[in-house]
Amino acid sequence: MSVAFRRESDEEHLEPKFELPIPPGPNLVTGRGLAQIRTRVAELEATLSGLVDEDAIKAARRELRYWSTRQSTAQLMDKADGSRVAFGCTVTFQMNRRERVITIVGDDEADPAAGLISFSAPLSRALMDAVPGEKLDFAQQEDAIEVIAIGVPAAPSPSTEESLDWQCESECMPRQGKEPL
């Protein structure tokens, strides 16, 4: 039969639903980041059992597949020693004559407005392995960044609600009046 006489279903014209994109590279996480992933998986599993709408179920399953994959591929990083900028460190630096404070975290934990920057971001990559006092090139500018201090977050207690809060030792807390990146 000719294609011209074939009946088309309504679903043929719908856009396909793709899986949520997984960031390329390793899935490095802090203890806080791993706890957030586990919490999200548990929330989605609980939500999924109460859903009845077909589209809502599909959306929840899609998101659950993403977070389950992120949980199974998570690589919990060892605590940095603070001598050099590394994953999980809080870095105080000066750029464009402004002092800024960021913490280098995993892709899923990143929140630039809160000063949490992914380890795969260009700024994080530029800061890696730097020491206090070092000047770094960034965005095709020489000595664009000066590292002022490096802090290491305190280990969170897994038994408390505060374990999801990013707690730092006193030397890595942002100073009063300093805004995050």
Residues 6+ apart with CB under 8 A from 168: 90, 151, 152, 153, 154
Task: Output the pTM of the full model.
Answer: 0.74
Q: How many CA atoms lie within 13 A of 26 on its CB side?
A: 9
Calpha distance 141→113 (Å, rounded): 24
Averaged pLDDT in 10-residue chunks for the chain of 181 residues: 57 68 93 96 94 92 95 94 95 96 96 96 96 95 95 62 37 36 40
- DSSP string of 69-130? HHHHHEEEPPPP-SSS--TT-EEEEEETTEEEEEEEE-TTT-BGGGTEEETTSHHHHHHTT-
CA pair distance 93, 150, nearest whole angstrom: 9
